[in-house]
Structure 1
Amino acid sequence: MNKYLIIPGFKGSDDIHWQTLWQNGPLLNSERMEFEDLISVKKGDWVKPLLNKLINSDDKYTIVAHSLGCLAFVHTYARYVIKNVNAAFLVAPPDVEQNSNAFFLNDFAPIPKFEFDIPTFLIASTSDPYCTLGRAEKIADYWGSTFINVGDKGHINSASRLGSWPYGLKLLQQLESENSILIHS
């Protein structure tokens, strides 16, 4: 069965964050990745539980990750053999290598430089304080991800006042339709 695995970022996703609204609305077939400490800046505190979740599940997942959750997923996928992920929707990954606002997350550096073998979208904003648009595009190139610029949306989080972010949901549906074409062709 295909499910959505929602991976929140640093400090989690509050009640008005699009991830929470999606989980409670259009993505009812989803579960949120639970981490013991969402304010930890140690890569192992994120990668180990995510790896355990993925390798111990019979479900197939479409990943829906935000911010640090993107890097947790990418570090996990790049390092281990993960067979049950169909696609990844990666929103606003922080630039832990070159952005001084994100240096406190430097345990996640370096950013893995590898190409995914699954369809991935990297969604970025022109005004993200944790990653410039140019760097986001470069990171998408590293990963072989489709790069999508959503304009002036900050860190694409609750402060961006996106509500249930209908445009993001359309992008997720587009990713899934591309994945369906790849699976069935």
Structure 2
Amino acid sequence: MKRPLVDSAIYEFVFRGQLTEVALDAAGRVRRFQDLDSVDEIAAALSLELLDAEEVTASRGMAVVYTAIAAFEMSVRRYVKRVLVDAYGEDWWEKGVSQNIRRFAEARREDEEKTRWHGVRGEDLLSYTELGHLPQIIQQNWQQFEPMVRRIDWATAIFGTLERSRNVIMHSGVLAMPDVERVGMNMRDWIKQVGV
């Protein structure tokens, strides 16, 4: 039985796409991290099997905590930018962020741009700020954030705690379970209050 023309067209389209992927890989395409197929592929690329097993196990546990903090931080950055864009439009960066934080972010981006062989942090300058800058930006624009955040001291405490835990992990430290639980509690509290 002959296939309908539509099925044949879809098959040909998908097959050409697969051939293109194979050809790009054969030509030496550099794959972004997001394109990697699995955690196992990432582990193989890093040769984790050559490292001390106990240290890898401890680090994997902290990687889960870091994943949560990083995803939380990205969602808060998106929230902060959305509020500032709603308030100031296209000039959100100049009108909603202090000159000191803008200078910090711009200098960090310029420094990273000098290393052209390495990927960049993000698409906008807010990606170049530190976690601790976010409550400062919120405070500088309190009128816009107050309806959801309610108390700046509460927000500052949450970000301070998360930044402390993040810094321990980023410098190869291992958090105790009460610290891990505190990270989770702080993120849950923020999400319940603010929604991101």
TM-score normalised by length of structure 2:
0.30
* Structure with greater helix percent: 2
Structure whose alpha-carbon radius of gyration is higher = 2
* Structure with greater strand percent: 1
